[in-house]
Chain A
Amino acid sequence: MVGATAPARQDAGVRAERTDEPVLATVTFTVNGQRRDLELDTRTSLLDAAREHLHLTGSKKGCDHGQCGACTMIVDGRRINACLTLAIMHQGAEIVTIEGLGQPDNLHPMQAAFVRHDGYQCGYCTPGQICSGVAVLEEIRAGIPSHVTADLGAAPQVTEAEIRERMSGNICRCGAYSNIVEAMTEVAEARA
């Protein structure tokens, strides 16, 4: 039911007047603590739902293919590439975007650490790096291992190697990696 020519079905929340008209569906989820009801073309990615429909443009479109990480959001506690998932797949989800982590007058500790360590340059990958960074520290805390976790039986630690491995889905072409690792390490240490 996601194709432009999908036949009309009168299911709840789905309607299509012409066979070649976009199939629309309603979806309800929570974004940054606020309930949002949207009627969307079913082809709309979660990223475009945020950027084009909710005007939450903090999440960036760098590739639209899940190759760069600029669109990273935290959905039900886990980071995902919002460009690789359709909005209608997230009925009832709790979604946090960069705007929900903090605002200029009330920065999240990770945002403040990025500013302090100059963990960005052009700023375009930055919201994705920060969302990913926040979620990575949670993943480590939850005991989820990574490719570089030596002992799968032991709790993973916040090491530079763990951070670099887990953050490698977030490309920064300006090359702020060294500073981002320092920002994340500082946040992790402050919380420990």
Chain B
Amino acid sequence: MKFDTPAGPNPIDRLKVVGRPTDRIDGKSKTTGTAPYAYERHDVAPDAAYGYVLGAGIAKGRVRRIDTASARQAPGVIAIVTTLDTPRIERGVMNVAYLFGGDVIQHYHQAIAVVVAETFEQARAASFLVEVDYAPEAGAFDLAEAAKSAAPVPADSGEGSGGNGEERVGDFEGAFAQAPVTLDATYTTADESHAMMEPHATVAAWDGDRVTLWTANQMIGWGHGSIAKMLGLPKEKVRLDAPYVGGGFGGKLFVRADAVLAALAAKAAGRPVKVALTRPLIANNTTHRPATIQRVRIGATRDGTITAIAHESVSGNLPDGDPETAVNQTKLLYAGANRLTAMKLARLDLPEGNAMRAPGEAPGLAVLEVAMDEMAEKLGLDPVAFRIRNDTQVDPNQPDRPFSHRDLVGCLTLGAERFGWAKRNPRPGQVRDGQWLVGLGMAAAFRNNMVMKSGARVRLDGSGTVTVETDMTDIGTGSYTIIAQTAAEMMGVPLDRVVVRLGDSDFPVSSGSGGQFGANSSTAGVYAACVRLREAVAQKLGFNATDAVFEDGAVRSGNRAIPLAEAAAGGALVAEDTIEFGKISKAQQQSTFGAHFVEVGVDVDTAEIRVRRMLAVCAAGRILNPKSARSQVIGGMVMGTGAALMEELAVDAKRGFFANHDLAGYEVPVHADIPHQEVIFLDEVDPMSSPMKAKGVGELGISGIAAAVANAIYNAVGIRVRDYPITLDKLLDRMPDAA
């Protein structure tokens, strides 16, 4: 199905199943521990041997020699595959660094060997006997230093909101010079780790020249093609299966070393092998969100109308890597006649920087929305009112291009009302509650609504059960449930008559999970397949597909009604289709909007920061399942609170690695850090987005929240910290008198 005109009325609009806060259909499996994740597939590979991965002990250079003689003699060892035995393996989709093969070390903890043994304990013990001789080389590890020689980003970066390295509208410099009120501030954001709870893991099994990988991966279509290319196999000889994925956040968008090494090790061992990256390998072996240095300049008239806005960002990456596209939202979020956005990319030899939840917007809004707070204060305006004053209903770079639907103002005003924003004292450091100085902060949330081609297959059998198959993944996003809701709505059956099977490369290729495009795109693909199935059913039952009504397990037309199952009495009916998005997706700007409101307390003596209240109001089209969508938003808010307050991969700029590479050193929010969270979804639909009229919410929640926390801290204590994360040591020597 080609989606190239705005969606008209369709069966989804009935909202008998879609749009309801249904419990997840995979909930019982997850809460009882019976949902199988990649490393747990005793059912498919009962005789799997254990692979243990070794990471390089240098950040840059070459491996001269790997001595495996002792390790091979160790008890239980079946095989050892080293990077020196293996020609350099081609990169898969979105890989920047090479994953394995050859003697070149591009980054610390790059995989250099896998030891396979009968047990995990034996593989681990034998790995300690492997001796490696390196020829290290000097590298660039300090972003601030490398930024001095960073090159402008010339072309489409392809991530975040997409777009060019430098864009100009009007005369920014001229307008900024003439503006009566200006801000020019520079901020930094830290390197961050996805730190998903399930380590990257794969079980690989060969059957002759065919290989199956049970793996943790967000994008089965990409991974399928990548593994085929990396192993030099035709795609038909490769199968990937990922029915459950224990979190990804962008870190599992692509094939990583676990998958490649499991496949190579299984071949070498002559039996299935399972490989999980140990937790201490993950931060340096895999990918991270790159740190940024961002400069924002805003010029406005005295009444708070922005006349000039510039956002520039520098980040670093390995050769062939992309920038963190932190400036992109600034092209679209606020009005202003004179504009500049620009990015530079520094060459670094740290591990690979790549997409992490809301790439671009998460660190970009963390900065822009603090700059807006600073500017509002200079103008003597309320931060909410300042943002409303500078709202735009068109793309400021192309004023003839409207937003498909934009209600940022609605989010801001409703949020302010519900949060009690009017009670905020605009003078910082004034509100005391016992030991705590209390502050309120807010920020706008913004993330584009991307759409991706997505396919599905649906089958109606004689029992009236509808089975959906698509290679879509559920990485905690709720895909199982919203796909079941979509099929139930389309076929007019209750939710418990729908079976959903996901994550298998034998199924039709879907959008996959990423960029908050998964929910809208994959359900639109299921919608398309169901339209086909409805046609097949109507034809079978002698109805006209256009006027047949599918409801309550029956098909009706006029005064005729036939049970749906009867259509499959003579054999199952199967239909498959793919939703493809035409020019409509670009004709208008499709974005999602929100407003974050946060209350913090800062201890007057210790500067300990506690988040006390959080509210997000979101405008993101039709909400397919308010319960799981809310969880996506609060989850984003938690991760963004981590970015605001604690998350920072600490760079050892001499040795060139992230020093705090486990969950004790890399701190993420825990229960005690997070208060009760409120989320409100505005009741809206966006017929430009898809037949579902939905948009993404998975990344909207993280977009802007860090700034709301930062602004609340400023309101509490009057200290503006421009370097994330805002830890208490950055406040302590500047705290107001505790009197």
**Residue B173 lies at the interface, judged by CB distance under 8 Å to chain A:** no
- Interchain CB contact (< 8 A) of A99 among B33, B36, B199: B33
A20 touches B672 (CB 8 A): no
**Residue B378 lies at the interface, judged by CB distance under 8 Å to chain A:** no
**Minimum Cβ distance to chain A for residue B702 (Å):** 9
Interface residues of A in 39-65 (CB under 8 A from B): 41, 43-44, 48, 51-52, 55-65
**Residue A91 lies at the interface, judged by CB distance under 8 Å to chain B:** no
**Residue B273 lies at the interface, judged by CB distance under 8 Å to chain A:** no
Interface segment, one of A7-15, A137-145, A149-157, A165-173: A165-173
A58 touches B119 (CB 8 A): no
Per-position binary interface string of chain B over residues 635-674, scored 1 when its CB falls under 8 Å from any chain A CB and 0 otherwise: 1111100000000000000000000001110001111111
A99 touches B246 (CB 8 A): no
Q: Hey, which chain A residues are within 8 Å of B247, CB to CB? A: 121-122, 124, 173-174
Q: Hey, which chain A residues are within 8 Å of B122, CB to CB? A: 22, 41
A177 to B31, CA, bound (A): 15
The interface on chain A, measured as residues whose beta carbon lies within 8 A of the other chain's beta carbons, has a size of 68
**Minimum Cβ distance to chain B for residue A16 (Å):** 10
Q: Hey, which chain A residues are within 8 Å of B636, CB to CB? A: 175
B672 touches A122 (CB 8 A): no
B675 touches A123 (CB 8 A): no
B627 touches A57 (CB 8 A): no
B677 touches A178 (CB 8 A): yes
**Residue A84 lies at the interface, judged by CB distance under 8 Å to chain B:** no
- Interchain CB contact (< 8 A) of B663 among A102, A165, A171: A171
**Residue B403 lies at the interface, judged by CB distance under 8 Å to chain A:** no
B639 touches A44 (CB 8 A): no
A181 to B280, CA, bound (A): 29
A68 touches B663 (CB 8 A): yes
Q: Hey, which chain B residues are within 8 Å of A116, CB to CB? A: 23
**Residue A37 lies at the interface, judged by CB distance under 8 Å to chain B:** no
- Interchain CB contact (< 8 A) of B197 among A21, A70, A104: A70
A123 touches B244 (CB 8 A): yes
A97 to B33, CA, bound (A): 9
**Minimum Cβ distance to chain A for residue B118 (Å):** 9
A67 to B74, CA, bound (A): 30
**Residue B259 lies at the interface, judged by CB distance under 8 Å to chain A:** no
B677 touches A120 (CB 8 A): no
A107 touches B32 (CB 8 A): yes
A99 to B35, CA, bound (A): 11
B676 touches A181 (CB 8 A): yes
Interface segment, one of B37-45, B86-94, B284-292, B431-439: B37-45
Interface residues of B in 107-127 (CB under 8 A from A): 119-122, 125
Per-position binary interface string of chain A over residues 72-116, scored 1 when its CB falls under 8 Å from any chain B CB and 0 otherwise: 000000000000000000000000011101111001000110111
Q: Hey, which chain B residues are within 8 Å of A102, CB to CB? A: 31-32
- Interchain CB contact (< 8 A) of B30 among A21, A43, A57, A120: A120
Nearest neighbor of B676 in chain A, beta-carbon distance: A178
- Interchain CB contact (< 8 A) of B31 among A4, A60, A130: A130
A174 to B635, CA, bound (A): 5
**Residue B168 lies at the interface, judged by CB distance under 8 Å to chain A:** no
**Minimum Cβ distance to chain A for residue B673 (Å):** 8
Q: Given A4-B125, A61-B276: A176 and B631 within 8 A (CB)? A: yes
A171 touches B670 (CB 8 A): yes
**Minimum Cβ distance to chain A for residue B481 (Å):** 10
Q: Hey, which chain B residues are within 8 Å of A41, CB to CB? A: 119, 121-122
Nearest neighbor of A22 in chain B, beta-carbon distance: B75
Q: Hey, which chain B residues are within 8 Å of A170, CB to CB? A: 670-671
Interface residues on B, range: 35 or more
Q: Hey, which chain B residues are within 8 Å of A101, CB to CB? A: 32
B671 touches A163 (CB 8 A): yes
Q: Given A57-B40, A120-B30, A171-B663: A160 and B196 within 8 A (CB)? A: no
**Residue B410 lies at the interface, judged by CB distance under 8 Å to chain A:** no
A61 touches B31 (CB 8 A): no
Nearest neighbor of A20 in chain B, beta-carbon distance: B75
A55 to B478, CA, bound (A): 27
Q: Hey, which chain A residues are within 8 Å of B580, CB to CB? A: none
Q: Hey, which chain B residues are within 8 Å of A68, CB to CB? A: 197, 279, 663
A164 to B639, CA, bound (A): 17
**Residue A125 lies at the interface, judged by CB distance under 8 Å to chain B:** yes
Nearest neighbor of B274 in chain A, beta-carbon distance: A52
B28 touches A63 (CB 8 A): no
Q: Hey, which chain A residues are within 8 Å of B380, CB to CB? A: none
Residue from B125, B246, B248, B669 having most chain A Cβ neighbours under 10 A: B246
A122 touches B197 (CB 8 A): yes
**Residue A179 lies at the interface, judged by CB distance under 8 Å to chain B:** yes
Q: Hey, which chain A residues are within 8 Å of B199, CB to CB? A: 61-62
**Minimum Cβ distance to chain A for residue B464 (Å):** 22
Q: Hey, which chain A residues are within 8 Å of B31, CB to CB? A: 98, 102, 107, 111-112, 114-115, 120, 123, 126-127, 130
**Residue A18 lies at the interface, judged by CB distance under 8 Å to chain B:** yes
- Interchain CB contact (< 8 A) of A175 among B24, B37, B74, B639: B639
Q: Given A41-B122, A120-B30, A171-B197: A64 and B278 within 8 A (CB)? A: yes
B120 touches A48 (CB 8 A): yes
Interface residues of B in 612-629 (CB under 8 A from A): 627-628
**Minimum Cβ distance to chain A for residue B162 (Å):** 26
Q: Hey, which chain B residues are within 8 Å of A125, CB to CB? A: 197
- Interchain CB contact (< 8 A) of B74 among A20, A99, A171, A176: A20
B75 touches A18 (CB 8 A): yes
Nearest neighbor of B679 in chain A, beta-carbon distance: A178
A175 touches B637 (CB 8 A): yes
A64 touches B279 (CB 8 A): yes
Q: Given A22-B76, A173-B639, A175-B638: A44 and B121 within 8 A (CB)? A: yes
Q: Given A44-B121, A99-B32: A62 and B245 within 8 A (CB)? A: no
**Residue B34 lies at the interface, judged by CB distance under 8 Å to chain A:** yes
**Residue A180 lies at the interface, judged by CB distance under 8 Å to chain B:** yes
A59 touches B662 (CB 8 A): no
A147 to B120, CA, bound (A): 37
**Residue B59 lies at the interface, judged by CB distance under 8 Å to chain A:** no
Nearest neighbor of A102 in chain B, beta-carbon distance: B32
**Residue B477 lies at the interface, judged by CB distance under 8 Å to chain A:** yes
B476 touches A99 (CB 8 A): no
Q: Hey, which chain B residues are within 8 Å of A174, CB to CB? A: 197, 247, 476, 631, 635
A123 to B34, CA, bound (A): 10
**Minimum Cβ distance to chain B for residue A32 (Å):** 11
A181 to B673, CA, bound (A): 12
Interface residues of B in 455-512 (CB under 8 A from A): 475-478
Residue from B76, B247, B280, B664 having most chain A Cβ neighbours under 10 A: B247
A120 to B33, CA, bound (A): 12
**Minimum Cβ distance to chain B for residue A53 (Å):** 10
A178 touches B675 (CB 8 A): yes
B residues in contact (CB < 8 Å) with A: 23-24, 26-37, 39-40, 42, 74-76, 119-122, 125, 194-199, 244-249, 276, 278-280, 475-478, 627-628, 630-632, 634-639, 662-664, 668-677
List the 6 closest A-B pairs by CB distance, nearest first: A58-B33, A175-B638, A124-B246, A122-B476, A121-B476, A123-B30
Given contacts A99-B34, A115-B24, 13 further A-B contacts (CB under 8 A): A22-B76, A52-B119, A57-B42, A63-B663, A64-B279, A98-B31, A118-B24, A124-B246, A164-B672, A173-B197, A174-B197, A181-B671, A181-B676
A residues in contact (CB < 8 Å) with B: 4, 18, 20-22, 41, 43-44, 48, 51-52, 55-65, 67-68, 70, 97-99, 101-104, 107, 111-112, 114-116, 118, 120-127, 130, 160, 163-165, 167-182
Subset of 18 A-B contacts with CB under 8 Å: A57-B33, A57-B36, A101-B32, A103-B32, A104-B28, A107-B28, A111-B31, A118-B23, A126-B31, A127-B31, A127-B32, A160-B676, A167-B670, A171-B197, A173-B197, A179-B634, A181-B676, A182-B676
